[in-house]
Amino acid sequence: MNISHGLWASLCLSSAVLAAPVNYDINGQPYEGFFVSPSANAPLVLLVHDWDGLTHYEIRRANMLKEMGYAVFAADLFGAGVRPTEVSDKKQHTGELYKDREKMRALMQGALEKAGQLGANTTNSVAMGYCFGGAAVLEFARSGAPMKGFATFHGGLSTPEGQNYSQTTGSVLIMHGTADTAITMDQFANLATELESNNVRHEMISYSGAPHAFTVFGSARYREDADRKSWQRFSHYLTNTLEQNTD
């Protein structure tokens, strides 16, 4: 499912604030992200979608972050017009990237570079992601990407064989549901051990009763209390991690 330009326009803000879909290419393939910024040189959040692809949900979160004073580039890891709605298609697109970690890293790096071309301050930036996007963010962290922080909401936590966090430069914030049966608390504990053994500054929080995808508005899995608390913690994390714009 592609998002029409009319729908994009309805989701964008006034002309006084930059908010627009962004078409870009990585290794000859087309992608469509979304960029919003409240002002020049605002701290950047690189936002990565879940297995639905870049949809209304990520745009809503991007605009929430804009209201807090952050520029946001919502990356597209699936390709322009690729917004799967069937579970089988979602598994296919995420599975392809889980099997090709170098491509996943290249897509993250390409999105960050595009944000820089749009005027975003990539040297004062944090990456964050939901579900599949959380796994991609941790992949980017393991790659040694020069970002100040990496945050995940109910994201994939396992580390592929042969990888580690020895090259991670920024701090890591993990927000996870204790009732998540897709990504278990054993994986949560294993990640904590990995981060500690690699001297990566981190904070890991679990929310009681919260299942997988607990932040997705309107879904059966949405848990308002866990969503509110995790968003508040993320807000504080951004304040403490990024230099605030004084323009």
- The position carrying tokens 């004073």 is 69
For 160-173, what is each residue's pLDDT tens digit?
999 999 999 999 99
> What pLDDT, on a 0 to 100 scale, did the predictor assign at position 16?
39
Reported pTM: 0.91
Asked if residue 238 lies in contact with residue 231, where contact means CB atoms within 8 angstroms, the answer is no
> What pLDDT, on a 0 to 100 scale, did the predictor assign at position 11?
38
Asked if residue 230 lies in contact with residue 175, where contact means CB atoms within 8 angstroms, the answer is yes
Asked if residue 33 lies in contact with residue 24, where contact means CB atoms within 8 angstroms, the answer is yes
Q: Which fold has domain 5-241?
A: Rossmann fold (3.40.50)
Per DSSP (E only), the strands in the chain are 18-26, 29-37, 43-48, 71-75, 121-130, 149-153, 171-177, 202-207
> In this model, does residue 149 exceed pLDDT 80?
yes
> What pLDDT, on a 0 to 100 scale, did the predictor assign at position 19?
77
For 198-227, what is each residue's pLDDT tens digit?
999 999 999 999 999 999 999 999 999 999
- The position carrying tokens 């002002």 is 39
Domain ranges of the chain: 5-241
Give the residue among 180, 138, 133 at the shortest CA–CA distance from 157: 138
Asked if residue 160 lies in contact with residue 101, where contact means CB atoms within 8 angstroms, the answer is yes
> In this model, does residue 9 exceed pLDDT 50?
no
* 85-97 mean pLDDT: 97
Which tokens in the block code for residue 137? 């963010």
> What pLDDT, on a 0 to 100 scale, did the predictor assign at position 106?
98
Q: In whole angstroms, what is the distance from residue 231 CA to residue 227 CA? A: 6
Helix axes 132-142, 101-117, angle to 10 degrees: 90
> What pLDDT, on a 0 to 100 scale, did the predictor assign at position 247?
56
Coil/strand/helix, residue 18:
strand
The letter for the amino acid at 176 is H
Four-point Cα dihedral 88, 90, 94, 95, nearest 10: 0
* 148-159 mean pLDDT: 98
